[in-house]
Amino acid sequence: MALDETLMELAPQLGRPVLRFYGWTQPAASFGYFQHHSEIERTTKLRPLVRRPTGGGLVPHDADWTYSLAFPTSHAWYALSAVESYQRVHEWVRDSFTKLGVTTELAPCCRKSAPGQCFIGYEKSDVLWQGKKIAGAAQRRTKMGLLIQGSVQPPPLNLAKADWQAAMCVRAVGRYCSGWNELIVEGPLLGRAQELESSRYSQTSYNEKR
Q: Which of 110, 118, 169, 177 is the catalytic position?
A: 118
Please provide the DSSP assignment of 16-29 as one string.
S-EEEEE--SS-EE
Dist CA 168 CA 196 (whole Å)? 28
12 CB contacts (<8 Å, ≥6 apart)?
A: 72, 73, 74, 144, 145
Amino acid of residue 87: Q
Phi, psi for residue 141 in degrees, rounded to 5: -120, 130
Strands 28-31 and 49-51: parallel
Phi, psi for residue 75 in degrees, rounded to 5: -85, 145
Dist CA 47 CA 49 (whole Å)? 5
Residue 106 per-residue DSSP state: E
Active site residue 118: yes
By annotation, the residues acting in catalysis are 118
